[in-house]
């Protein structure tokens, strides 16, 4: 795949995985489903190299494997059941992302302490960007 995936493409692919309604999910299914999002059929390797896509795939596979067989429901209950499954998938994925971000924060916190950065330095505001300014010629 020659085209790199943008953050928007990755978000759309993760959303597609979260909303997957089939009984089973394979990398081939995801690759083919990405054709509408990306415009080409990416390879499994290119998709699995993105951490969010790989984790969304793993979470959805676990959910599909753990869920009991489909039982016939009236349409309103079926809609509610699908909605609950979607929300559970998103919650699981977001909890995992949050756990990883907290772990990364702990590493940054330790490294800041090790290198003598103060809390004041870490909380310092970002510099303001003056977009109307022009650079003088050298």
Domain residue ranges in the chain: 7-122
Average pLDDT over residues 43-68: 86
Q: Other C-beta atoms within 10 Å of 30: how many? A: 21
Average pLDDT over residues 73-97: 87
Q: What are the residues whose beta carbons fall under 8 Å from the beta carbon of 20, sequence distance 6 or more? A: 29, 60, 64
pLDDT score at 1: 45
| pTM as predicted | 0.57
């Amino acid at each position: 795949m020659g085209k790199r995936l943008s953050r928007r493409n990755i978000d759309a692919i993760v959303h597609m995985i979260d909303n997957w309604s089939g009984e089973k999910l394979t990398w081939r299914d995801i690759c083919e489903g990405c054709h509408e999002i990306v415009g080409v059929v990416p390879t499994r390797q290119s998709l699995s190299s993105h951490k969010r896509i790989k984790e969304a795939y793993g979470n959805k596979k676990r959910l599909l494997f753990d869920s009991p067989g489909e039982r016939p429901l009236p349409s309103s209950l079926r809609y509610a059941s699908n909605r609950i499954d979607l929300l559970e998938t998103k919650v699981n994925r977001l909890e995992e992302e949050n756990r990883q971000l907290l772990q990364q924060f702990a590493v940054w916190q330790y490294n800041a302490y090790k290198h003598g950065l103060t809390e004041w330095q870490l909380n310092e505001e970002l510099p303001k960007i003056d977009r109307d300014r022009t650079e003088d010629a050298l």
